């Protein structure tokens, strides 16, 4: 059981890291901007393959080590959680240095071949914001109403709840953490529901308002891919929000009605599996910026996108004081990041992190 749980957490991380070079835009390689025409250059193909193989080997070794260590260590679940977190971050650090090796090699190859010597330009469609980039935000009324209903259920049924509330279960299906009944402890999960829904709503807004990034080499095709990319992730965000909100209903109902512990443990794992697999499939079929969407067409131009590598620190951190945009696509990976040169970016990041830290303190 423990091995299965560990695998469910680690395998999606492994898969994402292994295939990232294949999911990024064709105008970017290992955090370095390139002309789209060289994406299939044999040297770049070999680099992507070598990165995938090395990351795959690293992932296998890490998984074996974690499972072996888990079987040998006689510690509490809390201690094991700390060890697992440390081992995961250790793996990510090693994986980053592996990426950085390829990033530097890519920069050297780009300079050697002088790929960006041709005319460079920035392409923008002024009607882009008029397109339907996301599904309606009104869909978030569904998870918000579910959360509100959970709050009302808790208040109405508070007197029927036991004196101590089970807050956490171990893998052996035994309660590992109890909380004395109070409105604060009883309402903790519904408030987390509202917070999670708010986060998903925020992500949905980011998807619609993020910086337009259109390829100058094929602007028409790129625009179509951009719209498909944003709408697919918009739908995924809405569906994921509803699923997670429903998951939080189960333990709340268990405070009043007897529910099988097995059922209560399977539901969150199943929900997490659906969301994680869905994200991987969506990344693989859509790619960053819609780069893997093939049922679109356009005319190729003899111009290149502007080379903005100077603003991408280590190929992943965007820092451009001259760019008013706050949100934009990741350079290496699928999804969005922020312009760290804009103060408002830090306000958003610190606000989200701060609330996440304060909630357990205030409600614990």
Tens of pLDDT along 343-359? 999 999 999 999 888 88
| The pLDDT value given to residue 266 | 87
Residue 284 has pLDDT above 80, yes or no: yes
Q: What is the pLDDT of residues 142-186, one digit of tens each?
A: 999 999 999 999 999 888 888 888 777 666 666 677 778 888 888
Alpha-carbon distance of 23 to 62, in angstroms, equals: 23
- Band of residue 231 on the pLDDT scale cut at 50, 70, 90: very high
Q: For residue 57, give the H/E element and its range.
A: helix 42-72
pLDDT of residue 289: 84
The per-residue pLDDT for range 25-54, each reduced to its tens digit, is: 888 999 998 888 889 999 999 999 999 999
Q: Residue 325: left if φ>0, alpha if ψ -120 to 50, beta else—which one?
A: beta
| Cβ atoms < 10 Å from Cβ of 228 | 16
Rounded average pLDDT over 231-246: 95
Local structure of 33: helix, strand or coil: strand
**Hey, how many other C-beta atoms are within 10 angstroms of the C-beta on 20?**
22
- For residue 90, the model assigns a pLDDT of 94
Selected residue with higher pLDDT from 213 and 147: 147
- Predicted confidence at residue 121, as pLDDT, reads 56
**pLDDT bucket at 305, cuts 50 / 70 / 90:** low
Q: Of 237, 169, 240, which Cα lies nearest the Cα of 207?
A: 237
Higher pLDDT, 111 or 51: 51
Count CB-CB contacts under 10 A for residue 361: 7
Band (pLDDT 50/70/90 cuts) for residue 277 is: very high
Strand ranges inside the chain, DSSP E = 28-29, 32-33, 120-121, 164-169, 175-180, 304-305, 312-313, 317-318, 327-329, 336-338
Q: Is the pTM of this model over 0.85?
A: yes
For residue 5, what pLDDT is reported?
A: 77
Summary mean pLDDT of the chain: 86
Summarize the confidence of residues 74-85 as an average pLDDT: 78
């Amino acid at each position: 059981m423990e091995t299965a749980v560990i695998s469910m957490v680690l395998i999606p991380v492994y898969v994402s890291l292994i295939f990232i070079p294949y999911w990024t835009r064709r105008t970017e390689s290992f955090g370095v901007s390139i002309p789209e025409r060289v994406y299939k250059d044999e040297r770049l193909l070999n680099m992507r393959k070598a990165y995938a193989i090395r990351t795959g080997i690293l992932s296998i070794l890490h998984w074996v080590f974690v499972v072996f260590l888990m079987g040998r260590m006689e510690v509490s679940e809390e201690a094991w959680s700390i060890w697992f977190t440390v081992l995961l971050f250790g793996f990510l650090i090693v994986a980053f240095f592996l990426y950085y090796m390829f990033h530097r090699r890519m920069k050297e190859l780009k300079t050697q071949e002088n790929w960006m010597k041709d005319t460079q330009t920035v392409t923008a469609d002024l009607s882009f914001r008029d397109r339907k980039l996301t599904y309606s935000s009104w869909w978030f009324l569904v998870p918000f109403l579910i959360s509100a209903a959970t709050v009302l259920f808790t208040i109405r049924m508070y007197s029927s709840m036991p004196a101590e509330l089970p807050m956490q279960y171990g893998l052996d299906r035994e309660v590992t953490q109890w909380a004395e009944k109070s409105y604060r402890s009883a309402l903790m999960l519904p408030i987390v529901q509202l917070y999670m829904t708010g986060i998903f709503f925020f992500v949905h807004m980011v998807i619609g308002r993020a910086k337009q990034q259109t390829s100058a080499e094929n602007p028409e095709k790129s625009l179509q891919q951009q719209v498909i990319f944003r709408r697919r992730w918009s739908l995924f965000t809405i569906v994921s929000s509803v699923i997670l909100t429903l998951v939080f209903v189960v333990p709340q109902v268990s405070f009043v009605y007897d529910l099988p512990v097995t059922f209560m443990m399977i539901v969150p794992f199943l929900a997490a599996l659906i969301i994680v697999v869905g994200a991987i499939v969506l990344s693989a079929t859509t790619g960053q910026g819609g780069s893997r969407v093939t049922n679109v067409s356009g005319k190729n131009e003899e111009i290149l996108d502007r080379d903005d590598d100077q603003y991408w620190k280590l190929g992943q951190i965007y820092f451009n004081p001259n760019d008013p945009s706050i949100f934009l696509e990741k350079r290496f990976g699928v999804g969005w990041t922020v312009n760290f040169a804009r103060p408002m970016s830090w306000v958003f990041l610190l606000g989200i992190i701060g609330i996440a830290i304060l909630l357990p303190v205030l409600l614990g």
